[in-house]
């Protein structure tokens, strides 16, 4: 069996007050479960920025085009972006593309935390497929195919409404 690896790197300075306050604000704004989700997004950002720096040095136009197309299909970059735009990305750009945030921004739910709950409980569908991961990065072309499927609350039995004893 293949060993699972961590998909994030913890901060090098664990007690930096400015970073802690910034992460608290992100957790609150994006309705995250814990700071580990921020660290995963920052690791993803770090990966793409590292690739961009390497491509700037190599001047490989083909791989540059592939990387920009990948990020633009996720909706993180625009179609006419370049490698310098990748270097200016922030963690918020990736957190804005999470399913939990997209559901809230489409006004399908009242709060981001409610969006997370609906996703985990299986009420959110993308292309009629249930997605139960709040951290799913929604591609730009699938953003308008997100629907919320909530079953209505069961009504009290009709016999009790008519005053009949059960």
* pLDDT score at 31: 97
- Residue 151, CB-side half-sphere exposure with 13 Å CA sphere: 5
* pLDDT score at 151: 78
Query: 156: alpha, beta or left, given left = phi > 0 and alpha = psi -120 to 50?
Result: beta
pLDDT digits (tens, 9 = 90+) for 18-52: 999 999 999 999 999 999 999 999 999 999 999 99
* pLDDT score at 155: 58
Residue 131 has pLDDT above 60, yes or no: yes
CA 56 – CA 63 distance, rounded (Å) = 10
* Biggest CA pair distance of the chain: 81
pTM above 0.85, yes or no: yes
Residue 77 has pLDDT above 70, yes or no: yes
- The CA distances from residue 127 to 20, 31, 59, 90, 108, in Å, are 38, 24, 38, 29, 16
Percent of the chain with pLDDT over 70: 92
* pLDDT score at 162: 60
Assign 153 a pLDDT band (cuts: 50, 70, 90).
Answer: low
Beta bridge partners of 124: 148
- Please state which of the ranges 70-74, 98-102, 147-151 shows the lowest mean pLDDT: 147-151
CA 153 – CA 155 distance, rounded (Å) = 6
Q: Which domains, from first to last, does the chain contain? A: 14-97 (no CATH), 99-166 (3.10.290.10)
CA 46 – CA 53 distance, rounded (Å) = 10
Selection from 81, 82, 101 nearest residue 41 by Cα: 101
Residue 160 has pLDDT above 80, yes or no: no
71 and 38 in contact (C-beta within 8 Å)? no
* pLDDT score at 29: 97
Beta bridge partners of 130: 125
For the record, the structure tokens of 88 come out as 């200016």
Tell me the pLDDT of the chain averaged across its residues: 92
Rg of the chain (C-alpha set): 21
Beta bridge partners of 129: 126
Query: 86: alpha, beta or left, given left = phi > 0 and alpha = psi -120 to 50?
Result: alpha
More confident residue, 153 or 20: 20
Average pLDDT score over residue span 78-99: 95
* pLDDT score at 79: 87
């Amino acid at each position: 069996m293949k060993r699972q690896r961590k998909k994030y790197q913890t901060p090098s300075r664990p007690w930096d007050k400015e970073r802690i306050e910034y992460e608290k604000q992100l957790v609150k704004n994006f309705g995250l479960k814990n700071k580990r989700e921020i660290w995963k997004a920052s690791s993803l950002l770090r990966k793409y920025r590292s690739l961009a720096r390497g491509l700037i040095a190599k001047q490989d136009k083909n791989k540059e085009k592939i990387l920009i197309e990948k990020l633009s299909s996720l909706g993180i970059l625009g179609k006419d972006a370049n490698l310098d735009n990748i270097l200016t990305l922030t963690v918020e750009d990736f957190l804005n593309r999470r399913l939990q945030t997209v559901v809230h921004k489409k006004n399908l739910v009242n709060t981001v935390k409610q969006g997370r709950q609906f996703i985990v409980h299986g009420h959110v569908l993308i292309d009629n497929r249930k997605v139960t991961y709040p951290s799913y990065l929604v591609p730009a072309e699938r953003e308008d195919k997100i629907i919320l499927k909530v079953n209505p609350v069961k009504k009290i039995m009709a016999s009790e409404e008519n005053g009949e004893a059960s």
